[in-house]
Amino acid sequence: MKTKIISRNFTINGVSQWLYINQCSRPKGTLLFIHGGPGWSDAPWAGMICQRLWGEVNTVHWDQRQCNRSSTEMKDQAPLTILQMMNDGLEVCRVLQEEFQVHRPILIGHSWGAFLSALMVSHASELFHSYIGIGQLVENRESEPLSLDFCKRRAQEEGREDLLIELNSMPNTFFRSVPTLFRQREIVSELGGELISPANQNQWEQWMLQSPLDYQSDWEKLNRSCENACSQLWPELIERSLLDEVQRIHVPITLLQGQMDYFTAVAPISKWLRNLSCSGQKELIIFDRSAHWPQIEENEKFARIILQTLTQN
């Protein structure tokens, strides 16, 4: 099937924000992707994530406020809050309805974007067909110490005395400092808790080339927007928990979790899903050969699950 690519800015709650849309002629549905970070756009890797789906469904990627291309007016914008980000996401749905006659997309959130998506779908379930969370962030206060424990265990197994000394100097509350958090994330990535086969910057940039040119970005720009968004949102985010805030969802929910994901560990995810009341199916699917990016590491399985979701619900 033929597809049409649209990449441009829209006014979302008074601020210019970018949407990347791949339309097909006879779509089985629409996927709205909510990226992680905060501030780390996934549009540059849409080719890696969605290529098996293009021609079957419409896909929409959104650069959140102050992220990537949506950061052009950053100096004039108010400080970021989770409530503002949630309202922006719901407004994106209304823009899709008005501009493209898209109704009730499948909402797909990754990491921080999965936390945000859970808030969106709990506040306005009528806007969505179903919800898929990838590497679902539930509660940092429980997840982050598990991530630190993983790093210490893996560093010990690999004989990385240098890393072990550094990790042992970090308290269990390391995540309350954004610079320390970023350093710990570098170590998690190096030890296989982000991708089972760790990828360097060059590899990520090579993967970017599989996306349409209009989707691609600059690595340093992405890093800057991630640092900016985290500095504003992280202090609020670490005090929030889906266990307290989202106890019922009125659409089917599927959570996709890499077995080796130590950006967002599985234990809090299982607890949240077990206690969640849901109008429809709820399911946790483990990707045995993935960490934090199963949509990349096991892309064929990911695409198959997406297409099944469209037919089952």
- Per-residue pLDDT tens for 176-211? 999 999 999 999 999 999 999 999 999 999 999 999
Residue ranges of the chain with pLDDT lower than 50? Answer: none
pTM attached to this predicted model: 0.96
Closest CA to 86 of 223, 233, 226: 233
Q: What is the pLDDT of residues 9-20, one digit of tens each?
A: 999 999 999 999
Judge contact between 31 and 58, C-beta under 8 A.
yes
Q: Is 204 exposed, middle or buried (0-12, 13-18, 19+ CB in 10 A)?
A: middle
Q: Enter the CATH code of domain 3-139+199-312.
A: 3.40.50.1820
Model pLDDT, residue 310: 85
Model pLDDT, residue 76: 61
Judge contact between 194 and 293, C-beta under 8 A.
yes
- Give the helix ranges, DSSP H, for the chain: 46-50, 82-100, 112-123, 140-157, 161-168, 178-190, 201-208, 219-237, 242-245, 266-275, 294-297, 299-312
Model pLDDT, residue 3: 81
Model pLDDT, residue 114: 98
- The span from the CA of 260 to the CA of 256, in Å, is 12
Which two three-digit tokens encode residue 18? Answer: 């970018």
Model pLDDT, residue 73: 54
Model pLDDT, residue 311: 79
Q: Is the peptide bond before 171 cis (omega within 30 degrees of 0)?
A: no
- The span from the CA of 242 to the CA of 273, in Å, is 10
β-pairing verdict for 253-258 and 130-134: parallel
Model pLDDT, residue 25: 87
Bridge partners, residue 249, by sequence: 278
Model pLDDT, residue 75: 58
- The span from the CA of 303 to the CA of 28, in Å, is 13
- The span from the CA of 271 to the CA of 276, in Å, is 9
Sign of the alpha-carbon torsion through 182, 75, 39, 214: negative
- Domain boundaries along the sequence of the chain: 3-139+199-312
